[in-house]
Amino acid sequence: VQNAVPQPGMNESEKNAVQLDNMALPIDEHLSNIEKNLIQDALVRSGGNITRAAELLGTTFRSLRYKIKKLNID
């Protein structure tokens, strides 16, 4: 049985495999959470201005508006 914690002497691949085993969510959910956090941060930094937030994120207004709706960001 593999330990759930990276052990001394493990190479990076082994450590990464253990960390992946410990992930409770599928990668799509992790990526959505990261994306949502980045968008929320950009919206806060832009004072809620979607155009400015899109500029901060390097995307378009329309793309960001779509993501906001898709990710249910208030």
- CB count within 10 Å of CB 54 equals 22
Per-residue tens of pLDDT for the chain, all 74 residues: 345 565 677 677 766 666 666 566 788 888 999 999 999 999 999 999 999 999 999 999 999 999 999 999 98
Distance, CA of 17 to CA of 11 (rounded, Å)? 10
To the question of pTM greater than 0.85 for the whole model, the response is: no
The highest-level CATH class for domain 25-70 is mainly alpha
Distance, CA of 2 to CA of 22 (rounded, Å)? 11
